[in-house]
Structure 1
Amino acid sequence: MVFVAGSRLVVGVRTGRRRAPTRNPSVQASGGKHADMSRSPLAALEEGGPDLDALTRRVIAVALVALALRLVLLGDRVAHFDEGRVGWWTLHFLDTGQFEYRFIIHGPLVQHVNRVVFAVFGANDVTLRLFVALVGAALPLAALLFREHLRDDEVIGVAAFLAANPLLVYYSRFFRSTLLVAAFSFVAFGLLVRAVDERSVRYVHGAVVFVALAFTAKENAAVYVLCWLGATALVVDHRLFRTGSDESGVEWLRERVPDRETVATYRARLPRYLGHLGIAAVSFFAVTLYFYAPRSPDPNLVGFWQGVTNPTAFPAMVGRTVENVVTGYEHWFGGSTDPGCRKDNLVDGYLCYLGRSLESLSGYALPLVVLSVAGFLAERWARSRPRLVVLFAGYWGFVSVLGYPLGTDIYGAWIMVNAVVPLAIPAGVGLAMVVRWTGDALHADAVRFGLAAFVLFLVVGQVAFALSTGVYLDHSGEDNTLVQYAQPADDFRPALDVLDERAESHEGTDVLLVGSPYVRDTPRRGGIEPRCSAISDTLPLQWYIETHDATADCTANVTRAEAEIAAADPLVVVAPTRLTSQLAELLPGYTRRTGGLRTYGSQAVFFSKTANATAG
């Protein structure tokens, strides 16, 4: 996979003081090849320039559109709870050099990548999401991996869906690892397909690396492997059921049992096979160990660098890493028996989550889902020799639609990313089929042409409408089914601008959180600061406090707040709106604004100190 990067578009971007690195370091339908299909598309991409074939150039153009869709106004949406939490821990890693795999915030990959991004470009809402956005923009290029099995127009259709599907665009602009695990797994699958096409083991090794990256992105990479096994079983069953000749599946299989001479050849090659297997195992182990292993600047503690530079410490480092990973996977795959969606039993909870997932798909992936069904059924029923890649991707995607609502603990439309990415393959087949019908009917049948053109109009129109409203214009609204509950409804960042202007020279506490919902009874012994804050009700405030290099404290009631305000003269005071009138008396001259810290409810009031304001 070739990653396409570009200059950052910072329209509508807000930044804190962390702006600078001041912290520590095309086949025909029948299967024939094109004239130039003997070359690997990856080799063609590496050569660049005029040697790029027409299909590759078109897919690159689609990827550039994907890049623009993901970068424009990337920092416009205020950070989600999850974004704020992982962003804070990434800054902690940057500041202290300390890292530990925390399963509650999922895989460690994004923290390692964004530590470098923050060190180079500073920490803000754009750089927070930049890595995920670039991976999402590059994902359409993976369609080239299937060019031996798809027609050119189908490859472009796959790339187009990966580039412009509103659900994928939304979560490519979201600092969460779901898009990453889906993208890496999709590329790994494509590389395995290329390995079969070209009989080249290099693609297998590439696939192993991408599978390892998927596991470092998010724990549900294990579910992808299970989906692949299930899809493989269904494809094998299909192949044995429909052999393409008069022979039965058993006869077809018997003819392919290797004879003694073939077995002897394989036996002679066994050392080479084992060598490649060993390389693959070492590659997977090395990638996962690098990202999951702890880090510590203290040379006396067991961390990754202490382990790889000191052979005697290596077993302890590996043991600690394995222990952390096992704990995390036990948490996520331990099998919760609690019904979700506030239902009384697992069946009702599952049906609720499934219904919400289908609602999100109908609003923001309807053309993709409908065309994926059409493409899959056409492949299965209308072709004498269905292409197994299309069937495989269809099985993979459809079971993900049904399965992920069963395994989620809280609902977020992001779970459907896991289904939409593989469904892009049969959807691309379906889209190309409609386009061909439209072209064939242009000079033959006005009614047929009109219907086909109308379908294309609906597809393009629905995608454009969903992109404009769900991704850009209403990215935080309660009615937007892409929006998860922990997304703040309002942009409260202007209330924190005073931190950018005055926190560096301010002597006292910069931000004061007031009110029992925002304050813990007992401060945390470590972790997200301020440790007195109740993160379930206040995130992502801590992310913004940290990006401004500001200090913060908490007080549970207004009586205590009065003394704290008089002593610390805070620049910003945040409280539930029910305390507005009481705090207003203590903060004359402060500007006041309200905003929701969640999609609905959770209204907070922000008092921001003006240049001449005095507290108390």
Structure 2
Amino acid sequence: MRPERLRDVDRRLLSLSLVVVAALFVRFVGLGTRVFHWDEGRVGYWTLRYADSGIFEYNPIIHGPFLPLVNSTVFDLLAPTDAVARLVVALVGGLLPLAAWLFRDHLDDLEVVALGLLLAFNPVLVYYGRFMRNDVLVAAFSVFALGFAIRAISTRDVRRLYPAVALVALAFTTKGNALLYLLCYAGATALVVDHLLVRARREDRSIRGTVRGWLADIWRTLRHSAGGEDGSTQPQLATHRRTVAWTAGHAVGLAITFLAIVVWFFAPRPTLWAALSDPSLLPGVFQEATAGSARELVDLWMTGDMQEHDYLEYAFGLASTMANAAAVVSVFAVVGMAVDTLGGRNRLFVAFCFYWGIASFVGYPAATDIEAGWTATHVVVPLTVPAAVGLAFVAREFLAGIDVAALRDRLRGGSGRIVSEDTVAVSLAGILLLGALAGVLVPTATYWNSTNPDHTELVQYAQPQNDLRESLDDVEAIVATHEDGPDVLFVGADHSTRGSTFYVANESDNDQKPAGSGWYDRLPLPWYLERAGAEVESSAPDTDPAEVADGAPPVVIAVAEDREALSPHFDGYVVREHEARLWGFRIAIFLDEDALASAARPVPS
């Protein structure tokens, strides 16, 4: 592009585009190197089962149907690898900085770019943007939905509500806490309205008159959009009717948009396909996809014991994650809110996002069922807006104290003064910027692909350590070359201190949800075994080790406590131990040396 044409491009959009390229690079590089987490293995396995059987029903315990249904198509196009399974999340997370463009009417140029940078490189968003979970998806869809809704209000263009509603529907297909986003939006809006009413009272305007003015403005906007502009020669009644009909038509259109997406994703398969050829089945499919799915979610999260935990423990865990992996956003959000308020700008959008973030920080420890770093995603995202205001303020103060001409002269060998007289302020701003840069780069590099058991402030407990990868590759290679009988045996012997761990009486029970109880202890291994096409069996807890070894397949997997009792009966097997979680759950993998040789993978010395 020629320089004169480059000037015509919006520099904010160009800057955000470059940020997105960098964000995608950070998320895509080495995307498959971390071993699957327990949750990733569970969702990945059921995705493979759906691709094989064509049977899928919504199950709230693995969250929304978005990832299984979308990834089944992605697997058909590419391959069911760890990297490909995380590809959709990485893509959506990498595009999230573009949401800053939708808020350009409420942020200045530097703040828009700062917001894009914070969304691109926050360590929490980077780590879980490389993770096959729904948290980044629900956050991204909800933020883009908010952006389009705000654009619709700013431009008074109802057409922008359609992508907003579609994105809200997509958010619900990813995770049930999309409802919490809407509740936070409603709460933050109530506080903003309160701000406006307080402001009206200070200006000696009545609350009733202010509210009437708002309603009148909404009606004028609707009337204008419906074609009944002021000064029209149409009778007033006809104008009112046209406006009401136009509004009702769009309300129906928005409802259809929302329901179409929800039904498409939540409808059970293959019943949905049958209903497309037999319309008499459509009412039942619609009911199951809407009311039925909502009932399942309520039964799991509202009437069960999912939230029976110590609030303070979970709140402290979230605070630890924010302090270690989101300190820059946390600190600069306070700075930004203070600057915006004390500086007299008092922007409602900045206050809205700050209140949203605080509500999320207070509410999620009560709402979540597991203490995990991914919860911070839903606090970080709203706080990036006031943080962008704070970061832009500090950057502006720093740049204001630098004499650019003198800097150019210094670079050419000159000796002029490049800093203004207020060296303390410029130095402080520079230190804060360097601290912000370090506060992003260091934890991003630290947590980027971590399975370190010392990183529990962000890495969740059910993450295996990466040394498991070599053994998984060997198992898949053995399965690919083994022909006769079962390929893998899971062992739960009577001397095990873990009882019936791994044991499932009938392995076919694992073909559809819910699987046998011992199956869940195997995660994330079922994902790797299913994609390899392995035939799997398990031994009963009271089986004698000698019987286990009699006719055993080339791969045998047991808890590490059983290794000593099993090893004497497995001559010709190499044994490796791995942490199947961050700590406290070691497994022993027995690999037949002859099978390894046949698979053309050397036996480690």
TM-score, scaled relative to structure 1 = 0.84
Of 109, 115, 118 in structure 1, the residue corresponding to residue 66 of structure 2 is 109
SS at match of 1:101: coil
Q: Is the 8 A contact 1:242 1:249 kept in 2?
A: no
Pair 1:465–1:249, CA change in 2 (3 A): farther
Aligned to 1:300: none
Q: CA deviation at 1:117?
A: 1.1
Of 280, 284, 287 in structure 2, the residue corresponding to residue 312 of structure 1 is 280
SS at match of 1:99: coil
Aligned to 1:290: 264
How big is each residue's C-alpha offset from its partner over 1:372-420, in whole Å with a ceiling of 9 and x where there is no partner?
A: 111122223322x422111111111110011000111121111111111
Of 247, 250, 255 in structure 2, the residue corresponding to residue 281 of structure 1 is 255
Structure 2 residue 583 is matched with structure 1 residue 596: no
Pair 1:581–1:339, CA change in 2 (3 A): same
Q: CA deviation at 1:50?
A: 8.1
Q: CA deviation at 1:510?
A: 1.1
Q: Is the 8 A contact 1:492 1:595 kept in 2?
A: yes
Aligned to 1:574: 557
Equivalents in 2 of 1:570, 1:521: separation in Å? 17
Aligned to 2:410: none
Aligned to 1:157: 114
What amino acid does structure 2 have at the position aligned with 1:553?
E
Pair 1:478–1:331, CA change in 2 (3 A): farther
Q: Is the 8 A contact 2:307 2:368 kept in 1?
A: no
Equivalents in 2 of 1:501, 1:524: separation in Å? 22
Aligned to 2:78: 121
- Which stretch shifts more, 48-57 or 387-396? 48-57
Aligned to 1:204: 161
Equivalents in 2 of 1:590, 1:496: separation in Å? 16
Aligned to 2:413: none
Aligned to 1:539: 523
Of 252, 255, 258 in structure 1, the residue corresponding to residue 216 of structure 2 is 258
Q: CA deviation at 1:319?
A: 2.6
What amino acid does structure 2 have at the position aligned with 1:512?
L
Pair 1:116–1:135, CA change in 2 (3 A): same
Matches within 5 A, 1:81-480: 81-243=38-200, 246-248=203-205, 250=207, 251-256=209-214, 258=216, 265-296=239-270, 303-322=271-290, 324-336=292-304, 340-341=308-309, 349-383=310-344, 385-442=345-402, 443-472=420-449, 474-480=450-456
SS at match of 2:490: strand
Equivalents in 2 of 1:483, 1:606: separation in Å? 24
Q: Is the 8 A contact 2:41 2:526 kept in 1?
A: yes
Q: CA deviation at 1:524?
A: 7.0
Aligned to 1:526: 509
Equivalents in 2 of 1:103, 1:540: separation in Å? 19
Equivalents in 1 of 2:518, 2:480: separation in Å? 25
Q: Is the 8 A contact 1:532 1:553 kept in 2?
A: no
Aligned to 1:609: 592
Q: CA deviation at 1:332?
A: 4.2
**Structure 2: gaps (5+ residues):** 224-235, 403-419, 493-498, 598-605
How big is each residue's C-alpha offset from its partner over 1:179-238, in whole Å with a ceiling of 9 and x where there is no partner?
A: 111110000000011111211112101100000000111111111111111111100110
Q: Is the 8 A contact 2:507 2:536 kept in 1?
A: no
What amino acid does structure 1 have at the position aligned with 2:157?
S
Aligned to 1:551: 535
Equivalents in 1 of 2:294, 2:431: separation in Å? 53
Equivalents in 1 of 2:128, 2:306: separation in Å? 27
Q: CA deviation at 1:560?
A: 4.4
Q: CA deviation at 1:259?
A: 9.8
Equivalents in 2 of 1:98, 1:459: separation in Å? 49
Equivalents in 2 of 1:293, 1:535: separation in Å? 26
Q: Is the 8 A contact 1:88 1:528 kept in 2?
A: no
Q: Is the 8 A contact 1:70 1:173 kept in 2?
A: yes
Structure 2 residue 574 is matched with structure 1 residue 584: no
SS at match of 1:258: helix
Q: Is the 8 A contact 1:129 1:174 kept in 2?
A: yes
Q: Is the 8 A contact 2:262 2:290 kept in 1?
A: no
How big is each residue's C-alpha offset from its partner over 1:298-321, in whole Å with a ceiling of 9 and x where there is no partner?
A: xxxxx1121133211111222333
Equivalents in 2 of 1:135, 1:259: separation in Å? 36
How big is each residue's C-alpha offset from its partner over 1:45-98, in whole Å with a ceiling of 9 and x where there is no partner?
A: xxx998642111100111111101111111111111110000000001111111
What amino acid does structure 1 have at the position aligned with 2:379?
A
SS at match of 1:608: strand
Pair 1:112–1:126, CA change in 2 (3 A): same
Pair 1:527–1:536, CA change in 2 (3 A): closer
Pair 1:320–1:268, CA change in 2 (3 A): closer
Q: Is the 8 A contact 2:165 2:257 kept in 1?
A: yes
Q: CA deviation at 1:477?
A: 2.4
- Which stretch shifts more, 582-591 or 369-378? 582-591
What amino acid does structure 1 have at the position aligned with 2:463?
Q
Equivalents in 2 of 1:204, 1:144: separation in Å? 16
Pair 1:334–1:304, CA change in 2 (3 A): same
Q: CA deviation at 1:600?
A: 1.3
Equivalents in 2 of 1:431, 1:146: separation in Å? 16
Aligned to 2:233: none
Q: Is the 8 A contact 1:158 1:428 kept in 2?
A: yes
**Structure 1: gaps (5+ residues):** 1-47, 297-302, 342-348
Greater CA radius of gyration, 1 or 2?
A: 2
